[in-house]
Structure 1
Amino acid sequence: MSRFLKSRQTMWARAVILFIGVVFHYNQALAVDTYMAEFMIESNATFNVSGALSAIKQITTPNITMTIGLLELTAECKIVGNASTCNCSSAYIWSNDVCGNFHCCNDSYCNANISHYPALCIPKVKVRFNGTVQVKLTINETDTIKKQLTDGFKQLHGFGCLNVSGPRDDGQIIDFKVDLSVIFLTDTLAKIISDLEPTVGKIAVETSGLVSIQYPMDTVKFFSKPMLNCRFEEKTNGSWNWNLLKGNKTFDLNTGSSITVSFPNETSPNCTTVQIIKLSGNWAGIYKCGFSKGSIVHTASAELKVALLPDKITMTIDPLTVECQDAAPPVTVTATIDNSTEQYTVTWSYQNNLPPPPVQPAGIASTTTISLNCSPSSSPHVVIVNFINQMNEIKSANITIPVIYAQDKNQACPEENNVWPKTPKGVTVTIRKCEVNRVGYKERTCKGPEWMSVLDNCVNEELNKVVNAAANFKEGLGATLQVAIQIFSDLKKSMVADSAADLSASINVLDIMSRASETITLDNSILDTFLDAASNMLNNSWKAANKALEYDMSSKYLLSVEGLVNNIKMNTSDGNDTPNIQLKLCNVQNSTSCNDIVFGVEVKLALSSGIVKTVGVKNLADKLNNSNFPGYNFPDIVVSVTLQSSNDSKIDIQLDFPINQSMAQDSNILCVFWNTTLNEWSEEGCKWKKRVNNRSYCECTHLTSFSVLMSKIPVTLLFQDEITYVGLGVSICSLLIFLIIEALVWSAVVKSNLSHFRHTALVNISLCLLLADCSFLAACFSSIKTSTWCLILTVTKQFFFLAMFCWMLCLSIMLLHQLIFIFHPLRKSVYLLLSTILGYICPTVIVSATYVYYKYTGKPYHNTETCWLTYEGLLKGSIHAFLLPVGTIVLLNLFSMAVVIMTLLKSTVSDGSKADEKEAAKSIMKVMVFLTPVFGVTWALGFFVLLTDIKAPMGVVMRYAFTIINSFQGLFILLTGCFAEKRVRDEVLKLFLAGALTTKGKSESIKNLTKSTSNN
């Protein structure tokens, strides 16, 4: 075969590519078909390829017919024998395959036999990447660094040039730019950077031209939902991100309430999209998408132009109100918007029957003057403003001018402090002026003719910035974990505790972040700053303008804290403790149940999987709405329990609350949860189980915020109050009778020192019990509970009951002395002196010391609901100034009774006959019956009452026994101290008989006198 020149040329079906590109632009097709063609010349003659092919109009394949509009020469190869020389046309460059396999790169000729490749050359594209080097060398060696960078990046196919600038002011950073004409692989660039870094320093690179971005090129309407998407043809295994550049600020984008960000997945592995759901001025700017892998970021950017409308229109009037007299003054109405690049057209209207003011261009503020129509009318004086953008979209706002007519003057609120103008009834006046460094407004409502309280909504300026940052975060603007941490950190710094407006704004931040966390992922790293900021809000009392606002703030606070804890993704944590909030975490995968304790509340929950988050909150419960349970005390602790990653459908949770409130023993206890729908406490799904050692056990079948409510007034058993009142009445009458009898028979029965001691003690015991019972009965009247008489009666009850027990102790000591020291009787003067000191001076000292201590420590001395001493827990409360002395005296008296009984038993042991044993038993029973009332032994039942639960059967028995025996104590003293003693009984009988005989004698005398008169 003779030698010949073989020329091979490859052409691109350019027209087909352009056509598919147009379809892609308008229909967003995601596929492009490219076809290659060859043309061969088997001679050394010059041949006009373009001219020859211009006659070819169509190419037909088995599946498709293509129309050719333009052909372009891309590569030329000359093959002479076994030698081959190829080159690309000026607008083309060797493909990456050719460069990689045959080292034919850039614009050089290729002598390898590559004619069999279907695509030798590809179109040149503009690819650029910027980079920085954190240098290791000194500043004066910049040229060396440039040479090293150039040598390194020249390995990239299509390398054009490298420019170096710097170093920067710090002397550590050098900037560089590289221009290429071929799309390269990320791994190739990563390897070059990896080889360079050991010698020049750490390199970071940002490329452009590799990622393509599609976006609306024309200005979009304000109420539209534009979409932007980015595509990176290379297979990705790194991370994608979106940013929005506004001025000199850059915001990371994430899915929020206003945008949805979708990242590559199995169905779209190389594409990421931003869909704007709710367009506002926030979303106009330059969008930048980026794919990151190591220190390499591939980016593309585009500007989204929006025909803006004001996000907020603030309207004000001057004067704030108008009084219609002969002629109404003109009213200036101002509409203010945030600074905007949009050139708005503004129109005004006032009452449809009047011509609107002329159209005017808008700046930040637009103003018009209204000539008010003072004709009496039921229609309000409404002024409307319209802002119209370049797309003829409209945003409107209105304001009503308050007018005082002549007939309404008497019901108008007067001017006050040159701040609040004269205002018609039912109108709320808003003043948009605040103190320095505060923003917002103040408003006040005229109730007619009196003003209501001022509602101050002026917020700390720095705190207002935090609110705006949180709002942007919720929308998806700057929605990153670092920004969330910064928001909570700034919230903690800028919160002012003594301002209701600041507190409300701070709680609003929590609420916004809670709702944002439903779509934006937050993790453990945010817990410390979040809980610190939330805890700080509970340090001081909340001063809201009214209870409704306080209830709203407290409920929102609780729901926000619970929502954030529920939404924050947690894996492991040792818990977080702050002064007012405690968080405990339990991973059920490591055990079959969880047992956590927050602020002394124990929470038990059995689950098969998931993470249990338990939060305890202090100083909040008294701020929550408790109107459903007006007779109950607010709880101390609110506990919230939520689950993460749990598949359990049935929930059974046990809670153990400590009880530290007064009257806990007999209070009715309710286990409740916070109903988030009604914003109030509810018992549904929760049951109170039992009470043990001042701890209350609850069980619930759902998860939310829990607590316990305790009734302010102790629960009484059926007829318990009636028994008490009847018993006290009988006791008072019995004691009066006893004292009268003692006065009548004193000289007859008191014949010795021993009887004098005994009857003196009985008289004082009866007198103290009488006065104590009267005080107790008087304290039952509701009118007394709200006056100083409640305190007085509390003091008298404590004093007289203590005095009664002290005189009982005197009687006990006297009896014990007589049994032990038989031959050393007490002198009357000694006994009376010691008894007076113990019986009256000691109680006085105890009562005085108790009152003074609680007065100067600021703790409550008495309970205004019961007019009795307070009980706050074990050894806590003024009640212990009564219980401890009484308990000591009762124990001593029990000891004295035991000594008496042992003495009786000892005296009958020697005989041992059955008759003597029976007599001894009778004597013991008599001693117990006679001494129990006067020794106060029945009061020992009170200690059993404290130790037993009112809902337990034994508790019911103990309470009825204590009520009956001690309310009738006066009757028992009358029976045992008077009628059971033979000498007293005989004397009473003598007096009765003597009185009867005297009455009979008088009757006989009268009868005889009458008879004698008749005879005469």
Structure 2
Amino acid sequence: MNSTMMPYNISLNDTTSANILNLQITTECNITNFGRSCVCKAGFLWNMTSCYTYPTCAGYPFCTCLMVPNGSVPFCELPCDPSNATVALNGIFTLNQKYTTELQKSSNPAYKTLEKNITTALVFAYSGKCSPLNVSISGFSNAGGVIAHYQMLLGDPVTTGNLTASATTAVQLLQNAVNSTVTVAGMSSIEPQQLRVNMWSPIILTCTINEKMDAVDWYLITNNGTDMIFDAGTNIRISTSYPAGAGMTISTLSIARADQWSIGTYLCQFSRKGLHYNATARVNVSLLPSEIILKPIQLSFLASAGNSVRLQCCAKIDGESYRVTWTYNGKTENAYAAGTQADLQCYTLNVSAPSTDTNYNCTFINSAGQKQSAIILVTIIKDGEQFCPQTKTNDGISWGITRAGLQVTVCCASGKSGNQTRNCSANGEWMEVQDNCISLILKKALTDAQTLQNGLGNLQERVPAILSVVTDLSAVSVNNPAGVTTLVSILGIISNVSANMKVTFGASVVTDFLAVASNLSDASFSSLWKTSRSPAASNMMKSVEQFSALFKTDNDTFDILLPYIQLKRSSYGNMSNIDDYAKAFSDFNGVTTFINKETITAMLATDNITITTLVFKTIGYLLPNTTTGPFNGAQLNSVIQSTSINSAVSINLCGEIHMNFTTNFSGSNYGQRCAFWDFSQPGDGGGWSDQGCKSNVNENLTICSCNHLTSFAVLMSINAEPLFLIDEITYAGLAASILSLCVCIITECLVWKSIVRNNISYFRHISLFNIALSLLFADAFFFSATFESVKNYKFICLSITFLNHFFYLALFFWTFCQSVMLLHQLLFVFHHVRKKIFISLSLIVGYFIPALIATGTFFYFYPKQTYLHQSVCWLNPESGAIYTFAIPAGSIIIFNFMILMVVISKLSRPSVSEAHRPEEKETAKRIMKAVFVLTPVFGLTWSFGFALLNDLDSLTRQIFSYGFAGLNAFQGFFILLTCMTEKKVRDALTKKVSSRIKSSTKSSMTKSEVPKKIFKVSTISKDK
């Protein structure tokens, strides 16, 4: 057939034919002495299979002239454009071959030989089921052997089955190949491939492949590297589905709120039988500044200074093109960049100082029109206004002139992140600095942990790296509450994310985690914990327990012994050789944990188990004291130990766990109870509970038996254990006391003129009246504080505490006035004190001094948040506030006892010289009698309370407790009895009541006589 025969019709089958319009020669072969040599005509090339199937002709470049044996009919093809290839492979071979320097350059013979062998194997492996278009070897690397890197382009058709078979064949053809990894592009896809979203908007990417895959992983590729994306928290969700009958796999990545972490190239990777099928999509986010840095954060000027104002706002350079504006005094103007500072882009505003307080609003606007603002407040200090002067602290931070009553915030010193705040008091004095600065190393560790929290990164790599940085607390400069809180946050993030992803770690990683927690539990950091406003200690204990459950080791037993936290664990899997789980912690006061082998055997019937016990030496004393109910006001009296049981399936404790605690303090007047820390309780991090626990208390040892697992300890009641009917006696006594005091005060008012006829009577009754009045108010406020609704309102509880403090002090100081007056009358019989002097001194002592003490106590302790008791409306005993009541009251009680001794001594040896004043003498005796009754009321009863502070046996404690509750609660009743035992009072009261009765009777009689007279007159008239 030649061109003159065109067009030429040819039948393909019985029904189909074709017309050949043109012929073109593609391959030319010549017969030589060595065989048939074939070359391609102009415009045509040999395909990859032919090049590696037939040898190259002598003297010709590779794949130009081929020596083709008889019977073979290869032919050249039109050149293939690699850009039209549908599938691209990137792969590596791990070769069992020693790496040499000859493999570093492509011109070396060893390089060329290995390159040809690998290329030949790839071509032959993939030619059988695929259409290889191009193969290239990109180089060799050393990793204990030779790692060969290659790329390959394939034409249609391509299936995952063919790729899997071809990849397996390639490994078999390379005799020294150990394994192979292949990533495939072009068989899966992501929609959309390009996406730009606004800040905080959702991102949804859908990845599809027309095959059913075993697994799918997502990655984010940025300039900083490649991070794995995992389902974390509430922001990232990954879902995979296999539509029925469709023979495909669909994976959807959903990000609820896009932010700076969301920018990059997203890689979706399906995996099956050693092959990874990749697809990518690019996502950009219209960002807003993560933080607007103000310089200064706020500013004050003296009105007379007339300074100009230079303000600056900065944001981290993040690739977004912002438009920045300044708004103040109702006008807005564009801001212009003032240059960069480190990694910040700053914008400056220079204006004249305002005449009044002004807000300067700096606003960043992104490409999507979204805005983020920050305000600099400029205050003007007018003439006569208080202000704090400019000063500089030891760390070099400058605090500018500030109007009184304002809080100032400044940036941290160089090398730190965060801020410092300081209050300028109402009288123009600087208060203490609140340091919220952390080191940049600690900030970087927190950022890395937050990256994991956002679902980015390989936990097995990132977690050890973060922990290695923060293990040395001195290196990360933890010297303030902010540092403690940051470290606890890092531990919490690592623990939560790792637990959610069910990732396990070896001994070194778990040891580092526990070391950070142990270092933070050191006594030298206790002050930093107590000033922290977050429930950090509870969070850290929970994180340690949670992370310890991720501990994986091949050893049957393993211990981690640190100064303040210790871990001991045992693994059980052999049903034929089971021992009791018994762990002793001799370094921690002999704490032991015991689970009998019967319980362990019962649990092993389900699955293999690992039992882990943690002991916390000091962290318990840092837990928030928010417990209510039976443990309200109790204090920790032992270390804390926590035991957990881990297995592949969920297993519950099938028996009891027995724990021995050596208590720190013991005494029959305190109750020792086993309890566990319940993280689920409302409040700041949980609270103590004893549900499911039994306590067996010995002298210095408490044995706890519980039917569940968590953090256990022994709690000691700060107050004595509640006694039978003690609350009822107290409430009844208070009610009777309040009623009696009201009767006493009314009685004193009714008979005042009748009984107060000399100075001694006047002094005595004025003291008695104020004692009754003070106690009435004190008892009333004390009684109101017993209601839970009152305790829940801090302001009301605070007010009741202050008033209780004042009136109880007033009560004691008025008894002091009465005792002093009595002592004066006994020692200086013929010397009289004028009423005016007595009243003046008594008011000062009885009310002014208590008011001064109560007010001073409030203003000293309340700013430190240590004024109130944590569980009742009373003064805080831990901060020392209680001593402002106990010391004055105790001193007056002692003085009253001394006066009582003087009275008794004086009564037993009366002076003869006093006989010439019988009336005054008689009055003095009556006062002595009254004091003899009053002094025990205000002295002896409170002595019962001081006695309860000692370690008493059970019976003695009960006697003093009932005595103290009964006598003190009924003080008002005793005062009424004291008032009524005086004969003059009784006579005056009787006379007063009698006169009222007679007056009432006379009035009744007068009214009854009128109708009688009328009746009488009427009768006479009728008779007439």
**TM-score for the superposition, normalised by structure 2:** 0.53
Query: What amino acid does structure 1 have at the position aligned with 2:122?
Result: F
CA contact (8 A) 1:334 1:366 kept: yes
Q: Aligned runs of 1:569-718 on 2, under 5 Å?
A: 574-579=557-562, 580-584=564-568, 595=581, 597=583, 599=585, 600-602=591-593, 613-626=612-625, 634-641=636-643, 654-664=657-667, 667-676=670-679, 677-679=682-684, 681-683=687-689, 685=691, 689-692=695-698, 694-699=700-705, 704-711=710-717
Looking at structure 2, the residues matched to 168 and 384 of structure 1 have their Cα atoms a distance apart, in angstroms, of 57
Residues 621-653 of structure 1: CA deviation (Å, up to 9, x unaligned): 222234767975533412234565776789986
Are 1:387 and 2:348 counterparts? Answer: no
Looking at structure 1, the residues matched to 322 and 276 of structure 2 have their Cα atoms a distance apart, in angstroms, of 39
Looking at structure 2, the residues matched to 653 and 333 of structure 1 have their Cα atoms a distance apart, in angstroms, of 67
Query: What amino acid does structure 2 have at the position aligned with 1:160?
Result: L
Query: What amino acid does structure 2 have at the position aligned with 1:288?
Result: L
Q: Which residue of 2 aligns with 1:547?
A: 530
Looking at structure 1, the residues matched to 232 and 468 of structure 2 have their Cα atoms a distance apart, in angstroms, of 21
Q: Which residue of 1 aligns with 2:225?
A: 249
What is the CA distance between 1:474 and its match in structure 2? 0.6
> For the structure 1 residues 648 and 136, does the alpha-carbon distance in structure 2 shift closer, same or farther, using more than 3 Å as the test?
closer
Query: What amino acid does structure 1 have at the position aligned with 2:249?
Result: N
What is the CA distance between 1:442 and its match in structure 2? 2.5
Q: Which runs of 5+ in 2 are unaligned?
A: 1-7, 23-42, 50-67, 74-83, 103-107, 586-590, 726-879, 881-950, 960-1024
Looking at structure 2, the residues matched to 355 and 247 of structure 1 have their Cα atoms a distance apart, in angstroms, of 41
Q: Secondary structure at the match of 1:453?
A: strand
CA contact (8 A) 1:245 1:285 kept: yes
Q: Which residue of 1 aligns with 2:197?
A: 220
Q: Which residue of 2 aligns with 1:338?
A: 316
What is the CA distance between 1:245 and its match in structure 2? 1.3
Looking at structure 1, the residues matched to 370 and 670 of structure 2 have their Cα atoms a distance apart, in angstroms, of 65
CA contact (8 A) 2:212 2:242 kept: no
> For the structure 1 residues 131 and 460, does the alpha-carbon distance in structure 2 shift closer, same or farther, using more than 3 Å as the test?
same
CA contact (8 A) 2:392 2:399 kept: yes
Equivalent in 480, 485, 488 of residue 459 of structure 2: 480
Looking at structure 2, the residues matched to 143 and 707 of structure 1 have their Cα atoms a distance apart, in angstroms, of 72
What is the CA distance between 1:217 and its match in structure 2? 1.9
Residues 462-493 of structure 1: CA deviation (Å, up to 9, x unaligned): 22211110000011011433322322232214
Q: Which residue of 2 aligns with 1:818?
A: none
Q: Which residue of 2 aligns with 1:522?
A: 503
The farther-off stretch of 496-505 and 592-601 is 592-601
> For the structure 1 residues 546 and 233, does the alpha-carbon distance in structure 2 shift closer, same or farther, using more than 3 Å as the test?
closer
Looking at structure 1, the residues matched to 274 and 700 of structure 2 have their Cα atoms a distance apart, in angstroms, of 62
Q: Secondary structure at the match of 2:386?
A: helix
Q: Which residue of 1 aligns with 2:827?
A: none
Equivalent in 99, 119, 142 of residue 111 of structure 2: 142
CA contact (8 A) 1:538 1:620 kept: yes
Looking at structure 2, the residues matched to 649 and 146 of structure 1 have their Cα atoms a distance apart, in angstroms, of 60
Residues 98-119 of structure 1: CA deviation (Å, up to 9, x unaligned): xxxxxxxxxx9x999xxxxxxx
Q: Secondary structure at the match of 1:472?
A: helix
Looking at structure 2, the residues matched to 546 and 491 of structure 1 have their Cα atoms a distance apart, in angstroms, of 18
Looking at structure 1, the residues matched to 668 and 579 of structure 2 have their Cα atoms a distance apart, in angstroms, of 31
Q: Aligned runs of 1:16-27 on 2, under 5 Å?
A: none
Q: Secondary structure at the match of 2:450?
A: helix
CA contact (8 A) 1:652 1:699 kept: no
Residues 183-212 of structure 1: CA deviation (Å, up to 9, x unaligned): 253322331332144336654433322332
Looking at structure 1, the residues matched to 672 and 438 of structure 2 have their Cα atoms a distance apart, in angstroms, of 41
Query: What amino acid does structure 2 have at the position aligned with 1:695?
Result: L
Looking at structure 2, the residues matched to 690 and 264 of structure 1 have their Cα atoms a distance apart, in angstroms, of 56
Q: Which residue of 2 aligns with 1:559?
A: 542
Residues 873-922 of structure 1: CA deviation (Å, up to 9, x unaligned): xxxxxxxxxxxxxxxxxxxxxxxxxxxxxxxxxxxxxxxxxxxxxxxxxx
Residues 90-134 of structure 1: CA deviation (Å, up to 9, x unaligned): 99x99x9xxxxxxxxxxx9x999xxxxxxxxxx962434354655
Q: Which residue of 2 aligns with 1:210?
A: 187
Q: Which residue of 2 aligns with 1:284?
A: 263
Q: Which residue of 2 aligns with 1:536?
A: 519
> For the structure 1 residues 589 and 386, does the alpha-carbon distance in structure 2 shift closer, same or farther, using more than 3 Å as the test?
farther
CA contact (8 A) 1:434 1:440 kept: no
> For the structure 1 residues 707 and 543, does the alpha-carbon distance in structure 2 shift closer, same or farther, using more than 3 Å as the test?
closer
Looking at structure 2, the residues matched to 570 and 277 of structure 1 have their Cα atoms a distance apart, in angstroms, of 37
Q: Secondary structure at the match of 1:549?
A: coil
Looking at structure 2, the residues matched to 573 and 457 of structure 1 have their Cα atoms a distance apart, in angstroms, of 45
> For the structure 1 residues 570 and 652, does the alpha-carbon distance in structure 2 shift closer, same or farther, using more than 3 Å as the test?
farther
> For the structure 1 residues 334 and 128, does the alpha-carbon distance in structure 2 shift closer, same or farther, using more than 3 Å as the test?
same
> For the structure 1 residues 589 and 603, does the alpha-carbon distance in structure 2 shift closer, same or farther, using more than 3 Å as the test?
same
> For the structure 1 residues 520 and 385, does the alpha-carbon distance in structure 2 shift closer, same or farther, using more than 3 Å as the test?
farther
Looking at structure 1, the residues matched to 642 and 418 of structure 2 have their Cα atoms a distance apart, in angstroms, of 34
> For the structure 1 residues 501 and 396, does the alpha-carbon distance in structure 2 shift closer, same or farther, using more than 3 Å as the test?
same
What is the CA distance between 1:154 and its match in structure 2? 1.4
Looking at structure 1, the residues matched to 651 and 183 of structure 2 have their Cα atoms a distance apart, in angstroms, of 48
CA contact (8 A) 2:9 2:20 kept: no
Looking at structure 2, the residues matched to 672 and 548 of structure 1 have their Cα atoms a distance apart, in angstroms, of 26
> For the structure 1 residues 452 and 960, does the alpha-carbon distance in structure 2 shift closer, same or farther, using more than 3 Å as the test?
closer
> For the structure 1 residues 285 and 542, does the alpha-carbon distance in structure 2 shift closer, same or farther, using more than 3 Å as the test?
same
> For the structure 1 residues 137 and 535, does the alpha-carbon distance in structure 2 shift closer, same or farther, using more than 3 Å as the test?
closer
The farther-off stretch of 239-248 and 289-298 is 289-298
Looking at structure 1, the residues matched to 390 and 526 of structure 2 have their Cα atoms a distance apart, in angstroms, of 26
Residues 506-557 of structure 1: CA deviation (Å, up to 9, x unaligned): 1120122233245333224353332233223224521545834177332332
What is the CA distance between 1:280 and its match in structure 2? 0.7
CA contact (8 A) 1:131 1:206 kept: no
What is the CA distance between 1:327 and its match in structure 2? 5.3
Query: What amino acid does structure 2 have at the position aligned with 1:247?
Result: N
> For the structure 1 residues 187 and 648, does the alpha-carbon distance in structure 2 shift closer, same or farther, using more than 3 Å as the test?
closer
What is the CA distance between 1:181 and its match in structure 2? 1.3
> For the structure 1 residues 309 and 129, does the alpha-carbon distance in structure 2 shift closer, same or farther, using more than 3 Å as the test?
same
Looking at structure 1, the residues matched to 722 and 569 of structure 2 have their Cα atoms a distance apart, in angstroms, of 41
Q: Secondary structure at the match of 2:194?
A: coil
CA contact (8 A) 1:291 1:298 kept: yes
Q: Secondary structure at the match of 2:324?
A: strand
Looking at structure 2, the residues matched to 384 and 643 of structure 1 have their Cα atoms a distance apart, in angstroms, of 56
Query: What amino acid does structure 2 have at the position aligned with 1:481?
Result: Q
What is the CA distance between 1:248 and its match in structure 2? 4.4
Query: What amino acid does structure 2 have at the position aligned with 1:145?
Result: L
Looking at structure 2, the residues matched to 675 and 328 of structure 1 have their Cα atoms a distance apart, in angstroms, of 60
> For the structure 1 residues 422 and 670, does the alpha-carbon distance in structure 2 shift closer, same or farther, using more than 3 Å as the test?
farther
What is the CA distance between 1:260 and its match in structure 2? 1.8
Looking at structure 2, the residues matched to 206 and 374 of structure 1 have their Cα atoms a distance apart, in angstroms, of 65
Are 1:322 and 2:291 counterparts? Answer: no
**TM-score for the superposition, normalised by structure 1:** 0.54
> For the structure 1 residues 327 and 615, does the alpha-carbon distance in structure 2 shift closer, same or farther, using more than 3 Å as the test?
same
Looking at structure 2, the residues matched to 701 and 649 of structure 1 have their Cα atoms a distance apart, in angstroms, of 10
Q: Aligned runs of 1:445-456 on 2, under 5 Å?
A: 445-449=423-427, 450-456=429-435
Instruction: Compare CA radii of gyration and give the structure with the larger one.
Output: 1
What is the CA distance between 1:707 and its match in structure 2? 1.6
What is the CA distance between 1:173 and its match in structure 2? 4.5
CA contact (8 A) 2:337 2:345 kept: no
Q: Secondary structure at the match of 2:232?
A: coil
Query: What amino acid does structure 2 have at the position aligned with 1:547?
Result: K
